[in-house]
Amino acid sequence: MSRAALIGGLAALAALLFAASLMAGKAWVPPSAWFSADPLWWIVVELRLPRAILALAIGAALGLSGAVLQGYLRNPLADPAVLGVSSCAALGAVAAITLSAMAAPLLLFGAAMAGAGGAMLLLAALAWRSESPVAFVLAGTVLASLAGALTAFLISIAPNPLAVAEVMDWIMGALTDRSFAEVRLALPFLAAGCGLLLFTGRALDALTLGEDAARSMGVRMDRVRLLVVLGTGLAVGASVAVTGVVGFVGLIVPHLLRPLAGARPGALLLPSVLGGAALLLAADSLVRLAPGAGEVRLGVAMALLGAPFFLVLLLRERRRAWI
């Protein structure tokens, strides 16, 4: 498939799913009711539009972060969680929920971004001078487990069961009841993060041949490291800050697209932006269609769908390797 056809196709798919996301839910809003005085249209504008915008932007950010990290670490199993940024952002949000009486969206968002920022600083301190991606992953893993332990500690000392319920609810990840306030908060960070990450394409291509070869080809590794840490920090931090933890997008999207876009890491970035957006829009529309009054949590649904899918993918690759 040509690159233009792939990108055009993915963009069309994302646009289609965006429209579907405005229509789908407990109440169906057919296009005939759009832009009318029909109260259903208010559901679209007030409830579904911000939610669809967030799904689009966060899916794009997570897909892109995954593609960049897999290229940077030269490892197809890397995803945004490996740097520990998402765990630290979650820790920030959980701290805001448990330690304050009323977690307003702005406070929650600020605390999560502070957590992500702290993760970036620690990553820089732990792994900046090291040349190898292993040090980076190790530092990220340490950060993630530390943040996990602190999160558990905060839950255990939560002042009341209500706060615990709120934390659990938030941690599972969802886009339910998000408003334009959250869109306004998150969008600038998501855009800035994605913008930085899109500059890494050439360097990721060169890194295919290892770090020494990349540097001999004129790549400044310190600059790439800065772009990767800052870009994923902003993009993933802002994603977690508004949705909670939604996994698997960054892992699956580059995998899905590699057979179509080719293995060159730089060629995978733009398709991963669009593919991530499409995947999260589709998933967020599906969770609303669950029978009963409630919804399946987006994070839970992604894991439920993502894990078996990924397993099948791995098995297929293994079988190909065995033959």
Number of residues that bind another protein (CB under 8 A): 21
- Residues 295 and 48: their CA atoms lie apart, in Å, by 14
Minimum CB–partner distance for residue 183 and another protein (Å): 28
- Residues 48 and 41: their CA atoms lie apart, in Å, by 10
Residue of the chain from 14, 88, 114, 207 that contacts another protein (CB under 8 A): 207
Sole residue written with tokens 């994603």? 239
Q: Closer CB to another protein, residue 184 or residue 220?
A: 220
Minimum CB–partner distance for residue 212 and another protein (Å): 5
Q: Closer CB to another protein, residue 134 or residue 290?
A: 134
Residue of the chain from 43, 81, 94, 206 that contacts another protein (CB under 8 A): 206
Choose one: 26-34, 108-116, 137-145, 202-210; the region binding another protein (CB under 8 A): 202-210
Q: Does 208 bind another protein (CB under 8 A)?
A: yes
Q: Closer CB to another protein, residue 215 or residue 300?
A: 215
Minimum CB–partner distance for residue 310 and another protein (Å): 19
3-state secondary structure of 264: coil
Max intra-chain CA distance, the chain: 63
Residue of the chain from 5, 77, 104, 209 that contacts another protein (CB under 8 A): 209
Minimum CB–partner distance for residue 133 and another protein (Å): 10
Residue of the chain from 68, 197, 219, 245 that contacts another protein (CB under 8 A): 219
Extract the tokens encoding 122: 């620690």
Q: Does 135 bind another protein (CB under 8 A)?
A: no
Per the CB < 8 A criterion, the answer to whether 10 and 278 are in contact is: yes
Residue of the chain from 26, 184, 220, 318 that contacts another protein (CB under 8 A): 220
Alpha helical stretches, state H, the chain: 3-23, 39-42, 49-73, 85-99, 105-127, 133-156, 161-171, 180-198, 201-207, 211-216, 221-243, 249-261, 269-288, 298-322
CA 100 to chain centre: 26
55-94 positions binding another protein, by CB under 8 A: 74
CB burial of residue 277 (10 Å; 0-12, 13-18, 19+):
buried
Q: Does 217 bind another protein (CB under 8 A)?
A: yes
Minimum CB–partner distance for residue 213 and another protein (Å): 5
Q: Does 215 bind another protein (CB under 8 A)?
A: yes
User: How would you label 158-177 residue by residue, b for 16+ Cβ within 10 Å and e otherwise?
Assistant: beeeebbebbeebbbbbbee
243-282 positions binding another protein, by CB under 8 A: 262-265
Indicate the DSSP class of residue 24. -
Binding site for another protein (CB under 8 A): 74, 199, 202, 205-210, 212-213, 215-220, 262-265
